[in-house]
Amino acid sequence: MADVNTAGDQPQQGFPQFTRLPREIQHKIFTEAICKPNVHFVIARRKDVAATAKWHLALFPVPKGKDTSGYRLLEPLASVNAVASSAVHLATAKVVVQPEAEHGEDSGQVQWVVDKVPFKVLGNRIDGREDLVCFQFQRTNGKLFGYFHPHHQIINLSSFDPDAQAEQVKALHKVAISSQATDPYCRNDRSVFRCVGHPNHGDWTICPQQLCGFLDSFPNLREVYIVMRAQNEVQEKEDLKDYSRNFFTLTAAARRKHNLATFHGADRSYIELHENIAVSPYWMQLTRPRQLVAMLAELRECFLLDAARLPADEQDRAVAYRLPRARREALVFKVLVPTDGTQESWEGVDQYFATWSTRVFGQVNEGVVQLAAVNNRPLLPPVGGASAGAGADGGAPAQG
Ligand SMILES: [Zn+2]
């Protein structure tokens, strides 16, 4: 303590000790900051292909200023230094063991596979196995979306091309539709998933059968989510807030143990709706949560309606899905609730980290500064008034 310089010292700026930490520790800190798994948003529009006379969905990024996808955080972080770059690589790349071609055994040869966002204009890395990709559907030039389901191609003016679709989304294992997709009524030709005139879809406002047709084009589909947005009722918003608070009283370890889904975007998290965490025992019986659970049950039923499920005299109703039955049976369907972004959870930490990393390396990192702007939040106060946890990581002497 004798060598502490008390005279004329600037108030502590940044974290000068950080770069002296062993690379392993730096790596761990960067990895914590990445907050996996992420949610990414993509815009889907109909694209007609003259050569095949078929259509599929072309995918586009949400414009940068409005995009709250997790992938928008990764490249700025990777650009901080080599250790951060390697942390981002490890968080997104997967080691795949190449099978021995002839004997079907693992050859022991490993290969790094890096998944990218599913559109051509950007090459950002994502983790296709763990991250969630949420589709937002947009009509352009009044074009209808057409029918997705294999049974209804005959009434499509031109048919949906699931092969072209699969090629774009083959890296994705977890898919969500935002509730925007469920707004127009399924008998309305503004709907993305228009109904061919089924008598009843329970609480669905889109046709679950058409949604199955869309989901069937994801060759590696494992999990399907529907995002519950609060409607205008004040009570519902309050309930969702209470739900998020309850959710985050569980530690990350407990949430992992119970396999509760949490996906992190740039401005908020999306958490799984689970009845055991509900605000009150009655809450899950309220209209909206109950509706969504029932809707997913119906979607699942729909997806299993193939030859194996139907009696011999009804085989003509069977659908030839592309996804093997075993894969469809193993699909997980969940409801997600967006938080309001104010939980004392990772959001605050991550924002703090972004500011902090700028100071550590004494450079203004473009992406990091934009991050604060995108989130429309002020930068955090200077170090000193900031979180004790990060200070300790920066090498503060242990107490006692
Ligand atoms: Zn229908």
DSSP secondary structure letters along 71-127:
HHHHHHHHTS-HHHHHHHHHHHEEEEEEEPTTT-SEEEEEEEEEEE-SSTT---EE-
For 293-329, what is the HEC assignment? HHHHHHHHHHHCCCCCCCCHHHHHHCCCCCCCHHHHH
Residue 398 domain-assigned (yes or no): no
Neighbours of 185 (CB within 10 A): 14
**Total of domains in the chain:** 1
Q: How far is the CA of 287 from the centre of ligand 1 (A)?
A: 22
Q: How far is the CA of 56 from the centre of ligand 1 (A)?
A: 20
Q: Provide the residue range defining the domain that includes 249.
A: 37-68+87-92+118-346
Q: How far is the CA of 109 from the centre of ligand 1 (A)?
A: 47
Of the ranges 70-74, 126-130, 269-273, 362-366, which one carries the lowest mean pLDDT score?
A: 362-366
| Mean pLDDT, residues 150-164 | 91
Q: How far is the CA of 119 from the centre of ligand 1 (A)?
A: 29
Residue 367 domain-assigned (yes or no): no
Q: Which long-range contacts (CB under 8 A, 24 or more apart) does 27-30 make?
A: 27/83, 27/86, 27/87, 29/393, 30/77, 30/80, 30/83, 30/84, 30/87, 30/88
Q: How far is the CA of 208 from the centre of ligand 1 (A)?
A: 6
Q: How far is the CA of 232 from the centre of ligand 1 (A)?
A: 27
* Per-residue pLDDT, 362: 34
Residue 20 domain-assigned (yes or no): no
Residue 130 domain-assigned (yes or no): yes
Give the distance from CA 315 to its chain's centroid: 37
pLDDT band at 383 (very low <50, low <70, confident <90, very high): very low
Residue 56 domain-assigned (yes or no): yes
Residue 153 domain-assigned (yes or no): yes
pLDDT tens-digit map of 247-275: 877 777 777 777 889 999 988 899 988 76
Helix, strand, coil abundance in the chain, percent, nearest 5: 35, 20, 45
C-beta of residue 129 within 8 angstroms of C-beta of residue 36: no
Q: How far is the CA of 202 from the centre of ligand 1 (A)?
A: 10
* Per-residue pLDDT, 62: 93
User: Model pTM greater than 0.75?
Assistant: yes
Q: What is the largest CA-CA distance in the chain?
A: 92
Residue 46 domain-assigned (yes or no): yes
Residue 392 domain-assigned (yes or no): no
Q: How far is the CA of 221 from the centre of ligand 1 (A)?
A: 22
* Per-residue pLDDT, 188: 66
* Per-residue pLDDT, 69: 94
